[in-house]
Amino acid sequence: MAVCNSPDPSQQGLVLEPVERAFLGKLLHEEKTVFDEDTILGFSRDVACAIQFVHERGYIHCYLGSDSVVLNENYTAKVCSITINPIYPNYLISLN
């Protein structure tokens, strides 16, 4: 992931990777996948690190849920902003 930062807010954003494995929401809610405790702790750590990364750069992720978490082939969790949320159409809000 990379951050595109510009003085013009309309030119700010994130560059994201393609989905390798699946969205966490799909695995949990549609496929009813059951994960062991170590895998869940790994997801939690990955998501916490991603949110810390975004917050340290002055942004807030406005719609964090299982549909905003992508898993790669190694089950590493990555935060994205794909889900449509009518309350927050711009998924990242700058604190600056």
Q: What is the CATH number of the domain that holds 26?
A: 1.10.510.10
Q: Identify the domain containing residue 33 by its residue range.
A: 16-94
Is residue 50 in some structural domain? yes
Does 13 or 39 have the greater pLDDT score? 39
Is residue 38 in some structural domain? yes
**pLDDT above 90 for 41:** yes
Is residue 9 in some structural domain? no
Is residue 4 in some structural domain? no
Q: What's the number of domains the chain is made of?
A: 1
Is residue 25 in some structural domain? yes
Is residue 7 in some structural domain? no
Q: pLDDT at position 79, please?
A: 87
33-58: burial string, b at 16+ Cβ within 10 Å, e else: eeeeeeeeebbeebbeebeeebeeee
Mean pLDDT for the chain overall? 80
**pLDDT above 60 for 80:** yes
